[in-house]
Amino acid sequence: MSERETAAAAGKNGAKIGTEPRRVEEANAVHNSNSGTPGNAEARPAGRPEIPTATAAAQVRTTAAADPILVVDRLTLSVASGQNLVQDVSFSLGRGDSLGIVGESGSGKSLTLRAVLGLLPSGVKRTGGEVRHTVRSAMVFQDPRGALDPLCPVVKQVAEVVRYRQGKNRREARAEALKLLGLLGLPDSLKREDRYPNQLSGGQCQRIVIALALACRPDILLCDEPTTALDVTVQRQIIDLIARLQRELGFALVFVTHNLAIAAEVCTRIAVMRQGRLVEEGPSVDVLVRPRDPYTQMLVEAVLPLPEFVSESEDRTRDSGEGGTR
């Protein structure tokens, strides 16, 4: 069934530009494995298009969930010129799992995430592979102010989503929205007086955006660098918030970030992307402590170290003890 769908998709492309680009792509793949880009090349046999999906599924890493709610299978995204922005990316996600996708800018992290949601920017097309999921997903965007309507008060924005996605009437929707905002630690004053996004701080705006996503009652929450625009202390709050919500509500999480430390804190598994390909995937600690791929090693080494105290400072009791002796 899904096999036929892919074939159909390929056919649709083929009608337009012929089968030539596919060949080229294949040739590229072979060329790459010859030139020895390690980590990703070995997972892909040369005669790719003919292989049935069952075999492909077997190639998904061993860490794949037993009963996945989201399967990204050899996803390839390209622009009209034939350049592949994302190539052969596969991963799967079980209920309640958390996966961090890390990589530098231009590595295709965000595009992969958008493909899951079906929100590809214009000009980018899926040219291979597929995304299978049966559940609802919602996304938290990087720039909270950009994701909110500046001309609409925030409670109204959240209520609107609740109304349409949960099929409630206005009053119920508003009550539900306020409940959500309470859950996210937003000030109670919003109950009395609605405010516009520009009257809230960046951290508060991001909480509203998370509320918007949660209003869809997602089974998968997709986060696209949700803390990059925020200060460290606010970032800490948002990370803790997302982790807490995941525990309480039990949604699965895909967390895109360029910060390895954040990915490690939030996610149990980490996937590393480079130039549109998945170079390494595995449990967070394994990937960061014993990176197999040289690129991952480089990323881990590029993290600027902070001296010992920092890890100790996590221990509040010791902190206050020090404060007392001074």
Partner 1 sequence: MSTDLKLEKVTVRYGGFTALDTIDLDLSARTTLGLVGESGSGKSTLARTVAGLLVPDEGVMRLGGRILEKRRSREQRKQIQMIFQNPDASLNPRRSVRQILSEALTFHRMTRGRADTERRCRELLERVQLVPGSLDRYPHEFSGGQRQRIAIARALSVEPELLIADEPTSALDVSVQRSVLELFREIQAELDLTLLFISHDLGVIHAVSDNVAVMRQGSLVEIASRERFFSRPETAYSRELLAAVPKMPAAAAGATK
The site map against partner 1 for 83-122 (x = CB under 8 A) is: ---------------------xx-----------------
Q: How far apart are CA 147 and CA 83, in angstroms?
A: 29
Using an 8 Å Cβ cutoff, are 93 and 220 in contact? Answer: yes
Does 317 sit near partner 1 (CB under 8 A)? no
Minimum Å distance from CB 212 to partner 1? Answer: 23
Does 265 sit near partner 1 (CB under 8 A)? yes
Binding partner 1 by CB under 8 A: which of 36, 67, 232, 247?
232
Minimum Å distance from CB 277 to partner 1? Answer: 17
Binding partner 1 by CB under 8 A: which of 24, 79, 80, 261?
261
Minimum Å distance from CB 310 to partner 1? Answer: 5
Does 17 sit near partner 1 (CB under 8 A)? no
The DSSP annotation for 218-246 comes to -SEEEEESTTTTS-HHHHHHHHHHHHHHH
Bridge partners of 277? 274
Does 264 sit near partner 1 (CB under 8 A)? yes
Does 310 sit near partner 1 (CB under 8 A)? yes
Q: How far apart are CA 284 and CA 278, in angstroms?
A: 15
Does 303 sit near partner 1 (CB under 8 A)? yes
Does 185 sit near partner 1 (CB under 8 A)? no
Please name the residue that has the structure tokens 């298009």. 49
Bridge partners of 138? 221
What sign has the CA pseudo-torsion 286, 289, 290, 294? positive
Backbone angles phi, psi at 94, to 5 degrees: -95, 175
Backbone angles phi, psi at 6, to 5 degrees: -60, -45
Does 285 sit near partner 1 (CB under 8 A)? yes
Q: How far apart are CA 10 and CA 4, in angstroms?
A: 10
Q: How far apart are CA 314 and CA 252, in angstroms?
A: 27
Minimum Å distance from CB 241 to partner 1? Answer: 13
Q: How far apart are CA 7 and CA 9, in angstroms?
A: 5
Does 300 sit near partner 1 (CB under 8 A)? yes
Binding partner 1 by CB under 8 A: which of 61, 156, 258, 292?
258
Binding partner 1 by CB under 8 A: which of 3, 5, 20, 231?
231
Binding site for partner 1 (CB under 8 A): 104-105, 202, 231-236, 239, 258-262, 264-265, 284-285, 288-291, 298-311, 313-314, 319, 322-323
